[in-house]
Every structure is written in C-alpha cells, then in structure tokens.
Chain A
Amino acid sequence: MGLSKVRDNIPYYSDDLSTPAEGDLRTYEVFVQTERGKPHTYCGSVDAADDEMALMFAREHFGRDQECVQVWVAPRDAVIRTDYDKDLVFRLTDQSYRFAKGYNVGMKWREFREQRDYDEYKKEDLREHF
C-alpha cells in the first residue's frame, strides 16, 4: 500500500514470527507511512539493542529508499497474536453470507451510469433547442 516495489516485498514467515534475535538483541517490527494520513504499512523487522537503536536502524533501513514521513517500531513480543494451530480465527461452519463479496452491483452501476448519461444528454439537448 503505497510502498515502493522493493519494500512491497515483505518477508514471508513460514512460522509464527519465530526468528530468534542474536545475543542480547531484541526483534522489532517496522511500519512506515509514506504520506501523512495514509495507513502505516508493515515492512519487516530489525534486531536492535534497545528502542532507540531499533528506531535508528528502521529509519536507515526502511526509511531512505522511498519517500516517507514516519516510521514506527514495536517490539515483536509486544504483538499479541493468535496461535496458528490452537486458535480458531475463521469460522468452520458455513457463514459465506458474511463475506464482503457476492453483491452483484455491476448491473445496477451500469444502469445508473446509463441513466446519468442520458439525463445529461437530455439536458444539453433541451438547452440547444430552446
């Protein structure tokens, strides 16, 4: 979302954010915002000794190869998350009626646009003749 192609290529986690940081470093998740008012987008992680250093690393690593206005970092272990195996996120029973799709509005839109164009045409036609 608004990230450069390079930054769009966010890491793929085969496991649940489990990459361990080395030594006494902590892992921080990084989010950047490309314009004020736009959402912050997750773009990867850095390992750092403390909050301040994490922010510095994130700024140098993710904040320089594209225009951006703000960087967020958050300790990975501060992200409270569901467990792939234990926690149910999506329902098992058929609740497809809840999907935000399947509303056939294409036809209605077409009709609306045609009507609007026709009204415009009629208005101009009337103006030309009277």
Chain B
Amino acid sequence: MTDLADAHKKPLVQLLFSIADDKLVLGHRNADWTGLGPILEEDIAFSALAQDDIAHAGAIYGLIADITGGDADHLAYGRTANTYRCCDLVELNDEFDWAVAVVRQFFCDHFEHLRLRRLSRSNWTKLRQLASRMLAEENLAIGHADQWIVRLAKSTSEARGRIQHAVTKLAPLTPSLFEPTEGMADLEAAGVYPPLEAPMFDAWESMIANVIDETGLRAEFRAPAKDYVGGRHGKHSADFAAMLSEMTEVYREEPAAQW
C-alpha cells in the first residue's frame, strides 16, 4: 500500500508520536551519561546508542511531518507537555545510578523491538521500510542491554544487589509501556500496525524472561490495567516537566534557527 488512508492518519500519528517521543526522551536521558559512563569504552558505546535512539526519533518525526505537514524539529521540541506520548518508564530520572539506566534500557529496548517488528510488517510501504531498517539497529541495542544485565547479575554481590534493586524498582513502571494510543485498535484491524502472534505484554515478558532466567534475578511483571491512563494520553510523570524544559531549552531560544 503506497498511500495511507485518511481515516488512519490521526491514529497513526498518535502511535508514531509514542515511538518517537519514547526514543527522544530515552536518548536524551542516556545522553546525560556522556562523560560519566562506568568505563571509557562503555561511555562511548552508550553515547553512540543514545544517538541511535535520537536518530530513530528524528526519522519518525520526519515521517509524521510527511503525514501532517510541519517540521521535524518543531515536532520534537516545540510541543506542549500534554501532547507528548512517551511513557513513565522512559521519563524516569535515573539519578546517575548505572543499574537503573541499564535496566530502563533493557526493558525499553525489548519493547521497542516488538513495536518495530510489528511496524516492519505494516501494509503501508513507507512505514514498513523505515521500521525494517530501524529494527536491525534496535537489535544491536538489545544485545548491549542484555550483556550488561547478565554481566552485572553474574558479577560481585554488590553489582548483583544493585541490578536486582533496579529491576525491582522499575518493574512496576513497565505497564506504562503497553498503554495503547488513541485509535490503535483500528490500525491493528487495518494491518497498518499488525498484531503479533501473542499479546504484546506476553511477547515482551517472554523476551525479558529469556535473559533474566539465565541470571537468577527475581522479577515480577503485571499486565497493564485496561483503564490505565498515562503518558500515551498526555498524562506524564512528575519527572517529565523538568526534563522537557531542559531538553527544549536551546530550541526555545530561537525556534526559527536553521541547524
């Protein structure tokens, strides 16, 4: 399908905002680690992967701009807080706790993989092609996150304790990933955002378990409540406002500036 039906534009834009906003916010959070990574090599790797997230966000904002008109920079930095569609988990301030940053990345990357896998089967050609390219890169990010989880869990008792603590702390935030954006059911039915064989939560939990089980870490996840209303509908965590203000500071100085 070369052209997107008009009826699908509005819900697809909501879905695309949820992906781009997740990636932009997570990329921004992770970029805070530049210069502070646990070792030099990881500092470089983590910063490079943060750039992947921001590059992916940029590509999706570009696609949204193709649908709605407008400009990717404005879509990324010029919106009001309640129009962002990112979730609580990516907004979480890690307070420079490396275990928290790693676990946040681990939970989010696996979710992102599933979302991109679905989009890479979309019947809208343009979206399918973009998602397929991003999926290949997302798998590198997953490899990175999995390695750190396993490494730290199998390391000293201090490292293991910290990673377990972060898993326990962040698990209750994971349902926020799964909150559907407005009109998602229509996109699923129409094949624009085809469902997986299993429900998203089950697929995600099994990917997470594949890694966690190997380490003996304890983790319990709850499926998202049906009536949950959060970031995907513009209701953001307490950490978000401060982060958004900082992230958009330069853009707001001179929104018309050419970069």
Q: Do A and B come from one complex?
A: yes
Number of A-B contacts (CB under 8 A): 32
Within 8 A of A (CB), among B150-175: 151
B41 adjacent to chain A (CB < 8 Å): yes
Contact with B along A11-23 (1 / 0, CB 8 A): 0000000000010
The contact size tier of chain A is 10 to 19
Say whether B151 contacts A56, CB under 8 Å: no
Within 8 A of B (CB), among A1-60: 22, 25, 46-50, 52-53, 56-57, 59-60
Q: Which listed residue (A22, A50, A52, A57) contacts B42, Cβ 8 A?
A: A57
Say whether B48 contacts A47, CB under 8 Å: no
Once the chains are docked, how many angstroms separate the CA of A56 from the CA of B143? 8
B44 adjacent to chain A (CB < 8 Å): yes
Query: How far is the CB of A46 from the nearest CB of chain B, in Å?
Result: 5
* CB neighbours of B42 from chain A (8 A): 57
Within 8 A of A (CB), among B166-214: none
* CB neighbours of B151 from chain A (8 A): 49-50, 53
Within 8 A of A (CB), among B17-51: 39-42, 44-45, 48-49
A61 adjacent to chain B (CB < 8 Å): yes
Once the chains are docked, how many angstroms separate the CA of A48 from the CA of B39? 9
Say whether A56 contacts B48, CB under 8 Å: no
* CB neighbours of B139 from chain A (8 A): none
Once the chains are docked, how many angstroms separate the CA of A51 from the CA of B164? 24
Known: A22-B39, A61-B41. 5 other contacts (CB 8 A): A53-B147, A56-B143, A57-B45, A60-B44, A61-B44
